[in-house]
A and B are shown apart, each in its own frame.
Chain A
Amino acid sequence: MYKFVLATRYLLKRRITYFAILAVALCVFIVVVVMTVMTGLVTDFTQKNHSFTGDCVVGTESLVGFPYYEDFINVLENSEFIQAVSPVIKSYSLLTLRDKDFNLGVEIMGIDPVRHSQATDFEKTLHYRKNDASKAFSPSYDPNLPGCILGIDLLMERDSKSGYPYPSSPYELAFSITCFPLTAKGALAKVGAGLVNTQTFYFSDTSHSGLARVDSSTVYLPFEQAQLLCGMSGPIKRANCLHIKFKPNVKLQDGCEKVSSLWQAFLQQKKGLQQADLLAAVNVQSWKDYRRAFIAAMEKEQAMMIVMFGFVGITTVFIVFVVFYITTENKRKDIGILKSIGVSNADVVQLFSLFSFMVGLLASCIGILSGSLFLLKINKIENWLFEQIGFQLWDRTIYAIGDIPNQLDPMVLLIITCSAIVACQLGALLPTWQAAASRPVETLRVSRL
């Protein structure tokens, strides 16, 4: 009991302890704020990639695509774990604004908007046809014209508050899309072979996936037209990939393994058929693997951040070490007194360990509380700063970030609290052991006082 009483008194009555608490609380505050924002960004980015991709992708990197995709769609749709499948044409093209001297290299995605919205969250990315994907390629100003959907950043720039200046109805714009039709052998289809490689489309909607690279470079076309433009609509039709959504109770890994098994069986079944060699280049990937190149970069930044906070943690340990070294040096007399009344070395260690635990706990509480309050108001603070001095943490005209993420994760808070307490215990370890090992006759000797 005296340990608790003394540790509490040391905590409250030693001014130097306040510095330790302040230092640890500051570290906790920084870690809470940065980890919350960083984790929020990574989670948001990962979620957007999931929404864009669906659960699983069967596809090839080759622009030639692969045949018999419709047969495999049938196989998948007859499986009880599949909710939806969407075939996609992916290629590159030249986008030319009609009657204007402007063109741009873009990625094209040929999709059936209804099927694609069942397999992904595509419908939610639309602006004018948000609740009716079936009309996504029907321009509202003339539904009979062939429509195209532009990634939002191709058409307009974000304003400084992360909004887009959408007009009330779509601009009446016409674009020429020129593709490079490829044969099944991968050669450029010869002119005069009856293939179409340029077609006019009319702007019907925008897609805002929240993925900057996608929104700034992708044009969505109706599946059949894209297939035609890319030379994939011959007698044996080809597609580049299938986006798949599993039923809600299916685990990602299990679903992907089942799709992989079905694909292997399908591969055997199609062996020897015309163009079947293209099937060998097809991979089955979970959405995480499919978007790995993009997600990994973000996760790496998060890992780097954690390493940097490891160094912050070491600094905290050092600060606590110094404070405890000074404290225990000042308390040598107390330790001598305690030993003279029968307190053991282990009890002295426990006393100062309890003291350091209290420092860690109190500092964590202060750090987490202030960090939480700051996060609660972080967007208001940023808005205020922007209005006053034009400061933004991220330039919303460049980065696809809306509000700064501020959702506190209880698990992260628990880990930070435990880490702060452990850091305090580590910092106090050596001075505490030194103090406990001191001989009372040395500390109580008159000449030392």
Chain B
Amino acid sequence: MSKNDLILNCEGLYKSYRMGATEVKVLKGVDLAVKRGEFLAIVGASGSGKSTLLHILGALDTPDKGIVRFEGLDLSRHNARQLNNYRNKTVGFIFQFYHLLDELNVLENIYLPAMASKSILGWIASRRWAKNRAKQLLNELGLLERANHKPYQLSGGERQRVAIGRALMNEPKLLLADEPTGNLDSATGNGILEVFERLNRAGQTIVMVTHDERIARRAKRIIALADGKVKT
């Protein structure tokens, strides 16, 4: 595997949290490499550090020790602005509880990342493109008729598809999904996984975290996280 094939790799990641007087070591030297176009599932029991690892990969959190490289660039060397830009354009997050903004409708939730990265003038200039892109995503996700609905008017599966749309809005190179089906029934969860498979077939790199091995098997590669380390 050449270096150019890797989109993401991390070496020797350590992370610990303080819970009262106790220090909980969550990651104890995680090494991971993700290839471009790969659909990777990280499995592990609850509290094994899967979500923590995903947050570190998405620059929502920082490791105590170790290096995360995206396309060869060390994230720890990025300044705050570059990290915000990384979260806005390079990665797309999908959370177990969807995390949509209640005050915005479906269409607005989807184009929010595009709006967030633009000044007022920039937004005026790109507004038409952003709305069209959001509608296109809604169409692909089968939610076009729900464009003006509020999140509370949608089912769990629909909300998660909106969250996927939002994550894809800025055409990120990497999709990070944290238990994306964890709050859905199996039929709905299956629909979400089909969306992931379709995206991956189109070349999208996806890293998905799950505790359910049956779901993980839908990915092309599975790694297990146990006792703060990757088990092969």
Contact = CB atoms under 8 A, between A and B. Distances in A.
A11 B232 CA distance: 52
How would you classify the secondary structure of chain B's contact residues: helix, strand, loop or mixed?
Answer: helix
Interface stretch (B28-36, B63-71, B112-120): B112-120
Contacts of B99: 333, 336-337, 340, 444
A389 interface: no
Interface string A13-42: 100000000000000000000000000000
B81 A344 contact: yes
B156 to A, nearest CB: 14
B120 A441 contact: no
Interface in A314-341: 333-334, 336-341
Contacts of B100: 337
B24 interface: no
B116 A342 contact: yes
A273 interface: no
A411 interface: no
Contacts of B124: 1
Contacts of B84: 342-344
Contacts of A10: 103
Contacts of A341: 87-88, 93, 112-113, 116, 166
A236 B29 CA distance: 111
A9 interface: yes
A155 B181 CA distance: 93
Contacts of A4: 120
Nearest to B98: A337
B160 to A, nearest CB: 14
Nearest to A449: B97
B108 to A, nearest CB: 7
A376 interface: no
Interface residues of B, number: 36
Nearest to A2: B115
B96 A342 contact: no
Contact of A9 (B55, B88, B89, B104): B104
Contacts of A5: 104, 108, 115
A19 B186 CA distance: 44
Contacts of A337: 99-101
Most buried by B among A336, A341, A445, A446: A341
Contacts of B93: 340-341
A444 B54 CA distance: 13
Interface in B58-89: 58, 60-61, 80-81, 84-89
B103 A342 contact: no
A260 B97 CA distance: 83
A440 interface: yes
Contacts of A444: 60, 95, 99
B146 to A, nearest CB: 19
Contacts of A343: 84, 88, 116
B85 A342 contact: yes
Nearest to B169: A341
Contacts of B115: 1-2, 5
Interface of B: 51-52, 55, 58, 60-61, 80-81, 84-89, 93, 95-97, 99-101, 103-104, 108, 112-113, 115-120, 123-124, 166, 179
21 contacts: A1-B119, A1-B120, A2-B112, A2-B116, A5-B104, A5-B108, A340-B93, A340-B99, A341-B93, A341-B116, A342-B87, A342-B89, A342-B117, A343-B88, A345-B80, A441-B52, A441-B60, A441-B61, A444-B95, A446-B97, A446-B179
| Interchain residue pairs A-B with the least CB separation, the first 10 | A342-B88, A9-B103, A1-B123, A342-B87, A2-B115, A341-B113, A342-B84, A441-B61, A337-B99, A340-B93
Given A1-B124, A2-B115, A339-B60, 16 more contacts: A1-B118, A5-B104, A6-B101, A9-B103, A9-B104, A337-B101, A341-B112, A341-B113, A342-B87, A342-B88, A343-B84, A343-B88, A344-B80, A440-B60, A441-B61, A444-B60
